[in-house]
């Protein structure tokens, strides 16, 4: 069984760097979400970036950075954004078949 088969093993195998696939598996998220967290810090409303190591043609992650990121999220719980509900306005113009034409 490879380390990527079990998310818990990804951080425990003693590797210095994890691939993006291994890091995403360890966090139980997609690689696309992992890149979003790495680039912008987007994590369900949190603005905490995940540190990475940029190498030619790849991005790698230290297990210690992943654990530190998790610890930061636990220390700063994400508060849901509460705002006004979205109210859709009716479209202007309505049903065209009932519009009266002006003649001449």
For the segment 59-77, the average pLDDT, to the nearest whole number, is: 86
Which residues face 46 on adjacent strands? Answer: 43
- Do residues 73 and 48 lie in contact, with contact meaning Cβ atoms separated by under 8 Å? yes
pTM of this prediction exceeds 0.85: no
pLDDT at 8 over 60: no
Residue-level pLDDT at 73: 80
- Give the Cα separation of 18 and 67 in Å (integer): 12
User: Which residue in the block uniquely carries the two structure tokens 């790849």?
Assistant: 58
Residue-level pLDDT at 43: 56
What residues contact residue 70 under an 8 Å CB cut-off, 6+ apart? Answer: none
């Amino acid at each position: 069984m490879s380390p990527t088969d079990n998310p818990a093993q990804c951080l425990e195998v003693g590797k210095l760097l994890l691939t993006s696939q291994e890091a995403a598996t360890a966090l139980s998220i997609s690689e696309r979400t992992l890149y979003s967290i790495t680039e912008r810090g987007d994590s369900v409303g949190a603005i905490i970036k995940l540190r990475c190591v940029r190498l030619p043609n790849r991005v790698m992650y230290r297990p210690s950075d992943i654990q530190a990121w998790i610890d930061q999220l636990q220390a700063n719980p994400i508060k849901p954004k509460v705002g006004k509900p979205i109210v859709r306005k009716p479209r202007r113009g309505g049903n065209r078949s009932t519009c009266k034409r002006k003649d001449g």
